Structure 1
Amino acid sequence: MNKQMVIVAVISAAIGAGLVAVTGDWLADSDSSTEVTKADAEKSGRKPLFYRNPMNPEITSPVPAKDNMGMDYIPVYADDEAGNLPAGTVTIDPVTVQNMGVRTATVERRTISRVISTVGRVDYDEQHLYRLHPKIEGWIEKLWIDTTGEPVKKGDILLSIYSPQLVSTQQEYLLALKNLQTLEASPFTDVRRGAEELLTTSLERLRLLDVPEHQIEELRSTGKVKKELHIHAPASGIVTHVGVRDGQYVTPRDELYSIADLSKVWVLVDIYEEELPWVKVGDEAVMTVLAAPGREFHGRLTYIYPYAETKTRTIKARLEFDNPDMLLKPGMFADVKIHASARKDIIAVPSEAIVRSGTREKVFVVRAPGKFEPRDVTIGVSSGGWTE
């Protein structure tokens, strides 16, 4: 641009109400001066090109007229500078500009950042929740873990179960093993292959029924069928639910245990609609909880849910935090600050310079001293007193 564009940074109330009031006073005070101007123009022989509405410069008339408030249209002459200005340009004398407290600021390229404060609730990491069901029917012989809240490690024995199906599957495996030992010296290849396939099939059935490897090895070495078989913890964590008791008959529909790994936790927060343009997956978050005064937990935003809550008109976002000391408990409330990603090298103006009419936004550009041109703008995010 040849000219440096300057934005008029006026508080909305001042520009919306004060400017009109000042304009009205200026017009009212200039009634006599208008007559003098007309008289001078007549003496000098100047004739107006047209007449302009004092309140809406876009409205003009070829003849003298009054607006709906009774104010005279302002004459515009051929050598009048205002006639060469864009439509809508407002002219204010320097004294009035100073009395109004009009301030100007240069349009800048800036980096805008924002910290979003919200509250959240600690929850289980759904990707590390385990619900254990038996794959066979049977009776619980012994519970090794029988209370909620107990910590377990992957591979720990949770219970012993008796199942006729498991007993018969063990017997099939032992028979297949003995059959292979008998036929492995057979001169017939098909016979040996059939015995090997039978053993492999029976072994696979044991594994599909979750018989642990150590018990399969014990079965192979001793050759004795075990009445009770163990069910082990599928992962390390905390037992959140015990669904059976000693002697209970269970089926695959029954939940034996629920285990949650709390080494990582989720924190669900609510984001307001106007804050949504700022946040994105990967933003850093800092959290504090009353249970750990003076300590900050650092995590990241991992997911923004694709719907809004009907009652609150907020959007849920999910944060993930490491929890090595188990200080974060599901159900806790937390204070969260999300460090939203910075917007770099954007064109920004002071937020005060934007005049909001309800249907569109405008700024006033200084065309010359005391001359302000309104322009429609499309705004973006706002932070720290600046707007994109």
Structure 2
Amino acid sequence: MHPQYKADKPIDCPICSMKLVKFEPTPNGENKPMDSMPGMDGSSSSTSSQASNNTIYVDPQRQQLIGVQFAKAITKPLSKELRVVGKVSFDETKITHIHTKVTGYLENVFVDYVGKPVKKGDPLFTIYSPDLVATEQEYLLALRSNKELSKSSFEEVSFGSSSLLEATRKRLKLWDISDKEIEELEIEGKAKRELTFYSPVDGIVTERAAFGHGKFVNPEMDLYSIVDLSTVWIIGEVYEYEMSFVKLGQTVEIEMPYSDKKSLYIGKITYIYPVMDAKTRTAKIRIECKNPQYTFKPEMFVSMKIKINLGTHLVVPEDAVMDTGEEQYVFVD
């Protein structure tokens, strides 16, 4: 604005097109210099006695030149949003390892590749175990003996035969022989050369060491790893300065940034790891999420948003805050 141009009504300046403002003289009839603003030179005037040390006066013309704007301080609810990158992982509580409790040799392998889905009760493989066959024969012998000696007039004899039968039965059960298979053994009356092992859970085969006919196996070998992917863990990393906002049980919005379908999935923070990464200065959090359609696959990267309620506070526009590096302040009209 050009202060030398004056008008008797509010119009635009014909030189610079800025709106003219109403002229209002200072209390002493003179324009007040900006001597009390940090960094401005000027002598004090009589108005300083009417204002406190942290009060400055800027005349309307100068306000127009520097583009001063006014906004009301209001009370409103505040929220904060944390954006976290996460990686999908197995739910470690739903990983099942398949072992045999006897030594033997593989005969047939029904689950023959990694990634194959299995249901609880599906056959995995059959095994020939000389120890198991011998125990089955002992059980059949104890069963026949118990039938003959259970009616003995000597109590010790009948008790001993029943005890032997029960001990042999327990040995079979300790080797994971089901009641159904023991019942079939009793009906057929002869030992089976092969024993079939079944899947104890629903899931996806992620590791396999049962290969081919004749492979020797023992209880130390991990023949299969089966993982239930209906629930997955997502491991996210949160910066150290944001950790104070993260709490157990918070709801997390999850999305796959490279997916055509911008679908949101909901998870919850179930664990906050107690160790900080010294290199990245981040801490890990664990989010548990349902995965009924196997949309999330282990090692997949996802984006997550954590919305935090900060409560109701008095707020001003962000541009109104002056930051000196050591403190923040605003000007109040």
Q: TM-score, normalised by structure 1?
A: 0.66
Question: Which of 303, 311, 314 is equivalent to 2:271?
Answer: 303
Displacement after TM superposition at 1:326 (Å): 1.7
* Alignment RMSD (CA, Å): 3.2
Residue 234 in 1 paired to residue 200 in 2? yes
The verdict on how the C-alpha distance between 1:286 and 1:357 changes in structure 2, with shifts beyond 3 A counting, is closer
Would you tell me which structure has more helix in proportion to its own residues? 1
Rounded Cα–Cα distance in structure 2 between residues aligned with 1:219 and 1:235: 25
Shift in Å, 1:114: 2.2
| Larger displacement relative to structure 2 (251-260 or 349-358) | 349-358
* Residues 96 and 225 of structure 1: CA distance in aligned 2, closer, same or farther (over 3 Å): farther
Question: Is 2:277 aligned against 1:262?
Answer: no
> Which runs of 5 or more residues in structure 2 are unaligned?
1-33
1:322 aligned residue: 290
Q: Shift in Å at residue 133 of structure 1?
A: 1.7
CA distances 1:286-336 after superposition (whole Å, capped 9, x unpaired)? 222235623222222221111122222111111122111122211222122
Tell me which residue corresponds to 2:22. Answer: none
- 1:344 paired with 2:311, answer yes
- Note closer, same or farther for the CA distance 1:335–1:188 as it changes in structure 2 (3 Å cut): same
Structure 2 equivalent of residue 383 of structure 1:
none
Return the alpha-carbon distance in structure 1 between the equivalents of residues 179 and 271 of structure 2: 39
2:300 aligned to which of 310, 332, 357: 332
Equivalent of 2:240, from 250, 270, 273?
A: 273
**Contact 2:80/2:310 (CA < 8 Å) preserved in 1?**
no
List per-residue Cα deviations over 1:24-73 (Å, max 9, x = no partner): 42xx3116x5xx99xxxxxxxxxxxxxxxxxxxxxxxxxxxxxxxxxxxx
Q: 1:198 to 1:81 in 2, by over 3 A?
A: farther
Aligned residues: 292
Does structure 1 residue 94 correspond to structure 2 residue 57?
yes
Q: Match for residue 22 of structure 1?
A: 37
Identify, as 1 or 2, the structure richer in strand.
Answer: 1
Matched position secondary structure for 1:29: coil
SS of aligned partner of 2:244: coil
Q: Distance in 2 between matches of 1:191 and 1:21?
A: 113
Among 214, 237, 247, the residue aligned to 2:214: 247
- Whether 1:207 aligns to 2:176 is no
Q: Report if the CA contact (8 A) 1:115-1:339 is conserved.
A: yes
Query: Structure 2 matches for 1:361-376, cutoff 5 A?
Result: 361=327
Residue 94 of structure 1 aligns to a residue in which SS?
coil
In the other structure, the counterpart of 2:111 is 145
The range that moved more, 94-103 or 121-130, is: 94-103
Deviation, structure 1 residue 355: 5.2
Q: Which runs of 5+ in 1 are unaligned?
A: 1-18, 38-73, 75-79, 83-88, 370-388
Residues 179, 296 of structure 1: alpha-carbon distance in 2 compared, 3 angstrom cutoff:
same
Counterpart-to-counterpart distance in 2, 1:190 and 1:118: 72
